[in-house]
Structure 1
Amino acid sequence: MKLQGALYPWRFRIVVALLALMVGAIAWRIVDLQVLDQGFLKGQGDARSVRHIPIPAHRGLMTDRHGEPLAVSTPVTTLWANPREMQSAQARWPELAEALGQDPAGLHQRLKDQAEREFMYLVRGLTPEQGQRVLDMEIPGVYAHEEFRRFYPAGEVAAHVVGFTDIDDHGREGMELAYNEWLAGVPGKRQVLKDRRGRLIKDVQVVKNAKAGKALALSLDLRLQYLAHRELRNALLEFGAKAGSLVVLDVKTGEVLAMVNQPTYNPNNRRNLQPAAMRNRAMTDLFEPGSTMKPISMSAALETGRWKPSDLVEVWPGSLRIGRYTIRDVSRTEGRELSLTGILINSSNVGMSKVAFDIGGAAIHEVMRKIGFGQDTGLGFPGERVGNLPTHREWRQAETATLSYGYGLSVTAVQLAHAYGALANDGRLVPMSLTRVDHKPEGVEVVSPQVAKTLQGMLQEVIEAPRGVFRAQVPGYHVAGKSGTARKASTDSRGYQENAYRSMFAGFGPMSDPRIAIAVVIDEPSKSGYYGGLVSAPVFSRVMSGALRLMNVAPDNLPPEDVKTADADKSKGGRI
């Protein structure tokens, strides 16, 4: 091409060449995308239409030690809406509100407020049948997806141990929270095609299968749990008490067979739930254990070798002056002197204090430390408290005396049961567990076997002696234990509250071969008395009696004629 009159003809040629190159590049890219590299356009199309929808995975089953379900996951339907899409069907909003059981004006306002959005929940946790009835109405913009909801067959009976999950199925309390990662499943993934309005066109494939959570077997025996729940509730009603806790422990394996608290709540219906009712008091509430600590202090005296159960201590006139403080015995004792066993039977603060002065506060503190007070139990339960076991560089008489009869330290009901479990297990402290234990643990010796067996006999006398806690006796069985009554500390000032007590009893049985330990704590009884031997001891008796029978433990305290009958039945193949 020859340009006439052009001053710079090469410029025109450059522009034409550049345009030609651009056209060629575009043509090549078209051929490349349509013929050679088809995956790019396909990927871009998929990005605008292919979606991955999660496949929900249900949580693992939680059971008691015998396989009875405590927490199960059931499928539910969640309805959601595309408010932008629903604006064209406003005439059907009242119909939808009626089907959902919601206020029409409230639903109308919600849809108006979120008119520019493409997602909002309508209702969660419907049964599949309820959800399908709403979907069958074919209201534009209403959709559904499947979720799982936790259901608790035992309800309020096991609520404090099992706990509960939130609306998104995440553990929030109890074992549901402690073992959330173990119980939680792994959601799957499903590939689908949707149009530009988000409507499902085609279910393509399952990309990843959902993986259910693992099962968890707790140490609880649901039969004992129901028994303990009933007896504790009845005791609170009878004595007008504010709250209470009860723990049943297998002394050989350390398994918690029952743990109940009052007040309690229903995890299946938490609409009117009070925060105070959610507290697992057996593991979170601290209290001064009072006279239930005297056996622990007595074991420290026996360990020194200087004291025997028959040794006498002068307790007359029933009071002891230490500086500004006066130690008093609540009940009148038998004579001027008491043996060590008599000190436990009569629950003498004066006698226990004098024994403590002889061995020193450090010796008592060491036994209490070894037996687990002031330390974590290792259960791993959310919110568990370790209590307080004070130590002093120099143990003065006042501090030594108060520690010996259960004041000046704080414990939980679980720790109290654990300590008595060690005494029942011939001085061996085994790790506690809220999950089923398949192999018996070794444990650690915290009290010598000889001292533990001696103390077992002394505590048996506490119940069976003429002046003992007869209300704790269990028909057909020899059992051992100690009651305790402690004034409640004031929360707004120093000192103790007036007419506010905790009634306690801790014990174990049967004495032929101790199997279970029980701790009962009842807070502020207000009717018919407040002493531990009056309020908590009968609860111990009834729970121990029912537990031993449910566990098929042979009686060890039958009258002679009943023993002969039982032996005869046994020889014939009958069950005792």
Structure 2
Amino acid sequence: MKRNSNRKKRAQQAQPRKVYHSFSPWRFWFVSITVAVIAMLLITRLAYIQIIEPDYLTNEADKRSLRVTKSVTHRGNISDRNGEELAISVPAYAIWVDPKAVKKAYAFTDEEWQASGVESKRTGKIRYSKKKFFESKKWPALAEVLDIKFEKLVQIVKKPKARFVYLKRQVNVPIVDYIKQLKLAGIANQLESHRYYPTGEINANIIGLTDLDAQGIEGIEKSYNRFLQGQTGKKRVRKDRLGNVIDDIEVLTKKKAAGNLQLSIDQRIQAVAYSQLKRAIKIHKATSGSVVVLDVHTGEIYAMANYPSFNPNDRSQYQPYKLRNRAITDTFEPGSTVKPFVIASALIYKKTDIDEVIDTSPGWMYLGGRRVRDGRNLGKINLAMILKKSSNIGVSKLALRLKPGQLQQTFADFGLGNDTGIGLIGESVGRLPLRHRWSDFELATMSFGYGITATTLQIAKAYAILGSGGKSYPITILKTPNPIEGEQVIPRNIALQVVHMMEGVSQQGGTARKAKVQGYRIAGKTGTSRKAEAGGYGDDYIAIFAGLAPASDPRFSIVVMINEPQGDRYYAGDVAAPVFSAVMQSALLLSHVRPDDEQTRYTLLDQLNDAQ
């Protein structure tokens, strides 16, 4: 055995050995060139990035980390003169969907979306195939809570390239929390602002409303939109991958706080004015109406009520005609409410005196072939009786003594034919014809309110001028701590004399006994005018009552206008005067104005305490 093993060893040693070379030139050069090329490419790329396009990586990083954030400014509040909120902004949310994210989450192609609904020939309704999306109960639940049809939701989600579509806006917090619990892909929310009006329909015509983007579109909301809106702040920040802000880069838009408005409106008086106006319109089956309460010494509006109205918190009620602020937009022929101005004009231009007696017999007269008449023959009456009995003959005779330009100038001094300066969008200036030649009949009819037009606010301002002793104050809807001094437009003694004459209107034998206010002397005038129509005047009327109280030292001017009262009782003394009485009493009591009648003072104070 040992001999055989030795033989094998000698045989193996006799065979030639294979030689392996450790170095290969072509491999070396291949590897070297490859490494060099890669190095050159890296160096070239590095040089390209750092020298030719040094901002490339910075821009790429900025795309992934820089964001613009908004600092939302909520719209300013609107309150009355006592601080009661009339319009406030509350947090709300908008629910939106990313259709692309929805399709990605459910792995649907555009073709599958297009084929997901088939119209049924029998019912005409869409029949959906039972795919994963439609089998989920969460999407019908989303449609139900947002009060939209499931078919409409599907159509929104099926939009091929959309990345942002609103589902519903102005959504409250409980609904948002419910939607979050559904955990639906592609559904998100964003914070926005919702406008809420605590007083509802009472102030809708003057406050107005905003759209879904919190932009004022009517009323004060529109007139003072820029002041109430403020300015949303924007800044560029850097965020990490978790969305946390790690650096503030720059301010793009500086945040500007929204302003708050305090109106001159007294909500207590406003509520009474609205309820009394609404009640009268319902009782007399009228079409519309308005009431204005004006402080004669400051020009501040304490109430401006209109009917019809609507609740701005329920947009389903919205109709443009219901939102119109009729006190400043609707014009009408003021009728006999202008007679005090004619008497004032005759006194100013010395065409009469305070004690003159005018013969109105036989109760009618012809001017240019046309007749002017009173309801009955009033005989010989003085100036105060002309107002008390509302004599067309008496006031026409005074107007005919005046030159047309003189009467026009007096009307203009009382603010007719011009804006009141309130500054609200939509105000009408009325119509005061200015021409050199007038017929006697035209001049006579203008003296009892025909041929000219005015708004409820204009009449209220004109009576406020009488009540303030002939001073005209700028009309304002905003509370003014320091009222502007008024401009004297007619002599003080004449204004006070006319106010004293108007006291007889609510007394025994006057045209508006229902305008009386317990404990206070009032001065006022009725106006019942026919409405003009094509070819003349129709059978519809406008009932107006304008007045001041207390007559001893006027504080408020109130005008009530009711449009087209129906039935036999359409006269202003029956329709508008009771509204004036209720509103004026509330305004005087709530403003702590001392009664003229001391005997009823304590009774009225008790009523005031009960009302509060």
TM beyond 0.5:
yes
Q: After superposition, give the CA deviation of every residue in 1:264-319 in whole Å (9 maximum; x if it has no partner).
A: 11111121322211111111001000000000111001112341232111111111
Letter of the structure 2 residue corresponding to residue 555 of structure 1: P
Contact 1:192 1:201 in 2 (8 A): no
1:519 match: secondary structure = strand
Q: How does 1:111-510 map to 2 (within 5 A)?
A: 111-112=157-158, 114-189=159-234, 201-204=243-246, 210-329=255-374, 331-334=375-378, 336-490=379-533, 493-497=534-538, 499-510=539-550
User: Could you say if the C-alpha distance between residues 25 and 296 of structure 1 is closer, same or farther in structure 2, counting changes exceeding 3 Å?
Assistant: same
Count, aligned residues: 535
Contact 2:145 2:175 in 1 (8 A): no
Q: After superposition, give the CA deviation of every residue in 1:518-541 in whole Å (9 maximum; x if it has no partner).
A: 000000110341111111111111
User: Could you say if the C-alpha distance between residues 395 and 141 of structure 1 is closer, same or farther in structure 2, counting changes exceeding 3 Å?
Assistant: same
2:94 alignment counterpart: 78
1:8 alignment counterpart: none
How many angstroms apart in 2 are the aligned matches of 1:487 and 1:430?
A: 31
1:258 match: secondary structure = strand
CA RMSD of aligned residues (A): 2.5
1:98 alignment counterpart: 144
1:136 match: secondary structure = helix
1:172 match: secondary structure = strand
Contact 2:390 2:511 in 1 (8 A): no
- Deviation for aligned residue 1:32: 4.7
1:212 match: secondary structure = coil
How many angstroms apart in 2 are the aligned matches of 1:469 and 1:229?
A: 21
- Deviation for aligned residue 1:203: 4.5
- Deviation for aligned residue 1:466: 3.5
How many angstroms apart in 2 are the aligned matches of 1:152 and 1:31?
A: 60
How many angstroms apart in 2 are the aligned matches of 1:150 and 1:130?
A: 18
- Deviation for aligned residue 1:558: 3.8
2:94 match: secondary structure = strand
2:168 match: secondary structure = strand
How many angstroms apart in 1 are the aligned matches of 2:341 and 2:394?
A: 14
How many angstroms apart in 2 are the aligned matches of 1:128 and 1:380?
A: 37
Letter of the structure 1 residue corresponding to residue 526 of structure 2: S
- Deviation for aligned residue 1:131: 0.9
Contact 1:310 1:341 in 2 (8 A): no
- Deviation for aligned residue 1:157: 0.3
How many angstroms apart in 2 are the aligned matches of 1:107 and 1:485?
A: 57
Contact 1:352 1:405 in 2 (8 A): yes
- Deviation for aligned residue 1:205: 5.9
- Deviation for aligned residue 1:57: 1.4
1:532 alignment counterpart: 572
TM-score of the superposed pair, with normalisation by structure 2: 0.83
Contact 1:82 1:120 in 2 (8 A): yes
- Deviation for aligned residue 1:193: 7.2
Structure 2: runs of 5 or more not aligned: 1-38, 107-132, 607-612
How many angstroms apart in 1 are the aligned matches of 2:141 and 2:487?
A: 68
User: Could you say if the C-alpha distance between residues 146 and 210 of structure 1 is closer, same or farther in structure 2, counting changes exceeding 3 Å?
Assistant: farther
Identity of aligned residues (%): 38
How many angstroms apart in 2 are the aligned matches of 1:215 and 1:141?
A: 38
How many angstroms apart in 1 are the aligned matches of 2:493 and 2:144?
A: 74
How many angstroms apart in 1 are the aligned matches of 2:141 and 2:596?
A: 70
- Deviation for aligned residue 1:338: 1.4
1:7 alignment counterpart: none
How many angstroms apart in 2 are the aligned matches of 1:544 and 1:333?
A: 33
How many angstroms apart in 2 are the aligned matches of 1:29 and 1:55?
A: 40
How many angstroms apart in 2 are the aligned matches of 1:149 and 1:215?
A: 16
Structure 1: runs of 5 or more not aligned: 1-19, 570-576
How many angstroms apart in 2 are the aligned matches of 1:203 and 1:99?
A: 34
| Structure with greater Cα Rg | 2
How many angstroms apart in 2 are the aligned matches of 1:133 and 1:263?
A: 38
TM-score of the superposed pair, with normalisation by structure 1: 0.88
Contact 1:193 1:200 in 2 (8 A): no
1:484 match: secondary structure = strand
2:272 match: secondary structure = helix
Letter of the structure 2 residue corresponding to residue 110 of structure 1: I
User: Could you say if the C-alpha distance between residues 318 and 501 of structure 1 is closer, same or farther in structure 2, counting changes exceeding 3 Å?
Assistant: same
- Deviation for aligned residue 1:444: 1.1
2:425 match: secondary structure = coil
Q: After superposition, give the CA deviation of every residue in 1:484-512 in whole Å (9 maximum; x if it has no partner).
A: 0000011xx22111x20000000011122
How many angstroms apart in 2 are the aligned matches of 1:554 and 1:171?
A: 40
Contact 1:157 1:229 in 2 (8 A): yes
Letter of the structure 1 residue corresponding to residue 536 of structure 2: G
Q: After alignment, is 50-59 or 428-437 more displaced?
A: 50-59
Letter of the structure 2 residue corresponding to residue 421 of structure 1: A
User: Could you say if the C-alpha distance between residues 326 and 212 of structure 1 is closer, same or farther in structure 2, counting changes exceeding 3 Å?
Assistant: same
Contact 2:294 2:300 in 1 (8 A): yes
How many angstroms apart in 1 are the aligned matches of 2:442 and 2:242?
A: 75
1:487 match: secondary structure = strand
2:35 alignment counterpart: none
Contact 2:239 2:246 in 1 (8 A): no
Contact 2:560 2:576 in 1 (8 A): yes
1:41 alignment counterpart: 57
